[in-house]
């Protein structure tokens, strides 16, 4: 009977081991295995023991009990070391490990010259020990000085009484100001040092990081801002702060080290930790603070003077797409968009040079092609299109169409295109796609297929109505007309630099496509210079400087309807006209005036261009092209020619402008044949040739 029981027990244990292995309950398998081993040992031991002495039997039983305890201990050790090791290791870590989290500082934003436009500063809490203030004359003198200089907003005497009272109560801490920046901290520390206050009466607690912005009224909508967009950490919510968030934000690093938990001291076994730079990258814009100030100041003056509803402006280098300055003003303070990149407008007559350039490029017209505008009216699809000026009549050349800003003339030029051809040219100028500027949420107009245009659309688009663009699209397209025909992608950020000064990214000029030929571009520069000399932009003239440009006076549309007697007045200008370095677009929405003339682009906006040119040329040392200001050999040439009544020897004209040549031979009874644009490349007669009997000279510009 006993043998059968023992056999059943062994079989059950073996079955239990098999089931636990199958079910992957390995701790149970170990327990059953140890139990089986123990029982087999006991069975075989007692089977061979024949002792009848009770004392010996009790001794054997006691050793069996000790062996059982040993097996139980062995089971427990296996459980702890193998099966529950992770649990107890985690418990140990929770007792001694300290998690250190480090976040790098947010990167700064600078203008092209390194002027800080957005940067982070440390803010501190200014606190005192009230107990140390009691009876301390020097400490009280410093307190009085801090109140006097505005570092503490409370009145001195009530504050001193409060400190004395809580000092007698034994309190050791009182916060006086929680918004002390680095500069203010240094000034306070210098004051403490000057008064030779050695005790820790006044101390600083490091508080938080705060983002500061330079001249927010000028740069806010360009640089942007940070705030709580999602989660509990601040991030860029618009502008450059948002677009370049991944570069500006500081990286995070989390390190866990064995420490004495209560005081946070790392244990010797914690090992070495690698220091890494977690700070965000610094961004340098293409914006020039000097140009930004000039543009902003002049636009603001005219915005207030004309009592306009809105004013937009942007300045760019036409040769590479670098945005040098932007500005805008509006009466509606609730609008938080940046209209330079996000507003869609009908440009009006500043659009005309794009159409003329395309027509010349495709050999549909040339500079001297003529069009009869009749009495200043033309009827298209039961709609009469009129000239803005009643003096625009008769036969006009293409150049005169731009000079006089003839709407009827542009309709006749537009008739040279098919719908498909005009649409294709607009696509070349990038008017149906985003400019690619590195600014968030850029908008673009919707393209309507040419086969869906109504009969009037091509005619109105020819003079800038019925087509919508953003200001950045408009200035980028116009730049391609005068820079040699190249359409560049505009950009605001010049480079991104890490804290070690290494440039990790640089934005380079990106040529999108060739729109018109360099030759046609040269012709357009020459025509647009004449538009300033004696056309609608004449109020932008600056003596001694060559400027090109075009004004616009478009009907103002609101909610899809044109508003009677309200206009979008604008000017697009570039200088120097022969080799443009700057192109400027200024738009005024609904400028006010007694007459239409006062609201027009030529009156309301063109003077702004002239003032900008005056100030920029001074800041950037762009010299006048007046004869008396021309340096060295060119000045000598002109003086020699003008000092004598009759010219006996032909002077060397190479390198002079057309205007210089005209002024040199003024009142000399000599006809001048000038062709080309730029400066003199060749001449006839040759330099130093005798001028006896010469009544006509030929000059070629290049």
Q: How many angstroms separate the CA atoms of 692 and 686, rounded?
A: 13
Whether the CA torsion 193, 199, 202, 208 is positive or negative: it is positive
Question: Which pLDDT score, from 0 to 100, does residue 217 have?
Answer: 84
Cβ atoms of 89 and 184 within 8 Å: the answer is no
Kindly tell me if the per-residue pLDDT of 399 is higher than 90: yes
For the segment 138-187, what is each residue's pLDDT rounded down to a tens digit? 777 777 777 777 778 777 677 777 777 777 666 777 777 777 777 777 77
Share of the chain above pLDDT 70, in %: 86
Question: Which pLDDT score, from 0 to 100, does residue 670 have?
Answer: 78
**Helices 419-428/352-361 angle, 10° precision:** 110
Cβ atoms of 351 and 429 within 8 Å: the answer is no
99 band by pLDDT with thresholds 50, 70 and 90? low
Q: How far separated are the first and last CA of the chain, in Å rounded?
A: 125
The residues spanned by each domain of the chain are 2-83, 102-263, 289-619, 627-701
Give 450's DSSP letter. Answer: G
* Burial (CB count within 10 angstroms: exposed 0-12, middle 13-18, buried 19+), residue 91: exposed
For the segment 41-69, what is each residue's pLDDT rounded down to a tens digit? 777 776 677 666 777 777 877 887 888 88
Question: Which pLDDT score, from 0 to 100, does residue 562 have?
Answer: 81
| Backbone Cα Rg of the chain | 42
- The label of the residue with tokens 């938990």 reads 261
* Mean pLDDT (whole number) for 295-299: 94
Point out the least confidently predicted range of 43-52, 102-111, 399-408.
43-52
3-state DSSP helix/strand/coil percent for the chain, to nearest 5?
A: 40, 25, 35
As a CATH number, domain 289-619 is 3.40.710.10
Question: Which pLDDT score, from 0 to 100, does residue 640 have?
Answer: 41
* Mean pLDDT (whole number) for 500-516: 93
* Mean pLDDT (whole number) for 65-77: 84
**Alpha helices, H only, 307-371:** 339-342, 352-361
Q: Mean pLDDT of all residues in the chain? A: 83
Question: Which pLDDT score, from 0 to 100, does residue 98 have?
Answer: 63
- CATH 1.10.287 given to domain 627-701: no
* Mean pLDDT (whole number) for 409-429: 94
* Mean pLDDT (whole number) for 24-41: 80
Q: How many angstroms separate the CA atoms of 556 and 551, rounded?
A: 15
Question: Which pLDDT score, from 0 to 100, does residue 647 have?
Answer: 61
Question: Which pLDDT score, from 0 to 100, does residue 626 have?
Answer: 56
Kindly tell me if the per-residue pLDDT of 379 is higher than 60: yes
| Fold of the domain spanning 102-263 | Penicillin-binding protein 2a (Domain 2) (3.90.1310)
For the segment 311-335, what is each residue's pLDDT rounded down to a tens digit? 999 999 999 999 999 999 998 877 7
Question: Which pLDDT score, from 0 to 100, does residue 581 have?
Answer: 95
365 band by pLDDT with thresholds 50, 70 and 90? very high
Question: Which pLDDT score, from 0 to 100, does residue 63 have?
Answer: 83
Query: Which of 144-148, 388-392, 532-536 holds the top average pLDDT?
Result: 532-536
Kindly tell me if the per-residue pLDDT of 100 is higher than 80: no
Kindly tell me if the per-residue pLDDT of 202 is higher than 80: no
Cβ atoms of 68 and 35 within 8 Å: the answer is no
Same fold across 102-263 and 627-701? no
Kindly tell me if the per-residue pLDDT of 631 is higher than 50: no
Q: How many angstroms separate the CA atoms of 245 and 106, rounded?
A: 9
Question: Which pLDDT score, from 0 to 100, does residue 639 have?
Answer: 38
For the segment 438-483, what is each residue's pLDDT rounded down to a tens digit? 999 999 888 888 988 888 999 999 999 989 999 999 999 999 999 9
Question: Which pLDDT score, from 0 to 100, does residue 510 have?
Answer: 95
Give the residue among 240, 234, 236, 235 at the shortest CA–CA distance from 219: 240
Question: Which pLDDT score, from 0 to 100, does residue 636 have?
Answer: 39
């Amino acid at each position: 009977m006993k043998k059968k029981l023992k056999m059943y027990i062994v079989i059950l244990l073996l079955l239990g081991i098999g089931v636990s292995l199958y079910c992957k309950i390995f701790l149970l398998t170990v327990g059953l295995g140890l139990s089986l081993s123990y029982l087999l040992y006991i069975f075989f031991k007692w089977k061979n023991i024949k002792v009848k002495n009770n004392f010996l039997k009790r001794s054997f039983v006691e050793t069996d009990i000790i062996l059982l305890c040993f097996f139980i201990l062995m089971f427990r050790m296996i459980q702890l070391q193998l099966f529950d090791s992770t649990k107890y290791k985690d418990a140990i870590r929770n007792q001694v490990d300290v998690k250190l989290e480090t976040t790098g500082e947010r990167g700064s934003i600078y203008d092209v010259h390194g002027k800080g436009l957005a940067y982070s500063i440390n803010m501190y809490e200014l606190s005192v020990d009230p107990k140390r203030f009691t009876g301390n004359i020097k400490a009280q003198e410093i307190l009085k000085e801090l109140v006097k200089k505005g570092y503490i907003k409370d009145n001195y005497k009530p504050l001193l009484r409060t400190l004395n009272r809580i000092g007698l109560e034994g309190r050791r801490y009182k916060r006086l100001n929680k918004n002390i920046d680095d500069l203010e901290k240094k000034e306070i520390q210098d004051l403490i040092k000057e008064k030779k206050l050695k005790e820790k009466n006044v101390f600083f607690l490091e508080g938080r990081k705060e983002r500061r912005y330079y001249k927010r009224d000028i740069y806010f909508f360009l640089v942007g801002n940070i705030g709580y967009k999602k989660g509990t950490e601040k991030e860029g919510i618009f502008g450059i702060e948002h677009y370049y968030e991944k570069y500006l934000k500081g990286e995070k690093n989390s390190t866990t080290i064995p420490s004495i938990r209560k005081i946070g001291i790392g244990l010797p076994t914690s090992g070495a930790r690698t220091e890494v730079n977690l700070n965000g990258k610094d961004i340098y814009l293409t914006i020039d603070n000097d140009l930004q100030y000039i543009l902003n100041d002049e636009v603001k003056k005219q915005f207030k003077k004309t009592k306009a509803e809105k004013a937009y402006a942007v300045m760019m280098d036409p040769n590479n797409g670098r945005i040098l300055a932007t500005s805008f003003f509006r009466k509606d303070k609730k609008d938080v968009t940046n209209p330079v990149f996000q507003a869609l407008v009908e440009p009006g007559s500043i659009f005309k040079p794009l159409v003329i350039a395309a027509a010349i490029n495709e050999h549909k017209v040339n500079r001297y092609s003529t069009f009869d505008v009749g009495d200043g009216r033309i009827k298209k699809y039961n709609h009469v299109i009129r000239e803005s000026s009643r003096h625009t009549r008769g036969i006009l050349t293409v150049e005169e169409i731009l000079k006089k800003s003839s709407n009827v003339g542009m309709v006749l030029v537009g008739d040279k295109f098919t719908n498909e051809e005009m649409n294709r040219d607009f696509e070349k100028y990038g008017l149906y796609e985003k400019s690619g500027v590195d600014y968030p949420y850029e908008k673009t107009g919707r393209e309507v297929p040419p086969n869906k245009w109504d009969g009037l659309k091509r005619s109105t688009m020819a003079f800038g109505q019925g087509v919508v663009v953003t200001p950045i699209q408009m200035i980028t397209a116009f730049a391609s007309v005068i820079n040699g025909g190249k359409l560049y992608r505009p950009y605001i950020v010049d480079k991104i630099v890490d804290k070690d000064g290494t440039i990790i990214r640089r934005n380079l000029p990106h040529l999108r496509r060739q729109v018109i030929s360099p030759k046609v571009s040269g012709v357009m520069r020459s025509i647009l210079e004449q538009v300033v000399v004696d056309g609608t932009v004449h109020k932008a003239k600056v003596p001694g400087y060559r400027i090109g440009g075009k004004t616009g006076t478009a009907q103002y549309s609101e909610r899809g309807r044109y508003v009677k007697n309200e206009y979008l007045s604008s000017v697009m200008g570039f200088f120097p006209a022969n080799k443009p370095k700057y192109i400027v677009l200024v738009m005024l929405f609904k400028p006010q005036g007694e007459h239409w003339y006062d609201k027009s682009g030529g009156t309301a906006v063109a003077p702004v261009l002239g003032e900008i040119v005056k100030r920029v040329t001074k800041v950037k040392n762009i010299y006048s092209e007046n004869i008396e200001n021309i340096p060295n050999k060119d000045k000598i040439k002109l003086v020699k020619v003008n000092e004598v009544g009759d010219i006996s020897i032909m002077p060397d004209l190479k390198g002079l402008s057309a205007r210089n040549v005209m002024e040199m031979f003024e009142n000399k009874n000599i006809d001048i044949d000038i062709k080309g644009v730029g400066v003199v490349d060749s001449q006839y007669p040759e330099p130093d040739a005798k001028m006896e009997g010469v009544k006509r000279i030929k000059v070629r510009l290049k």
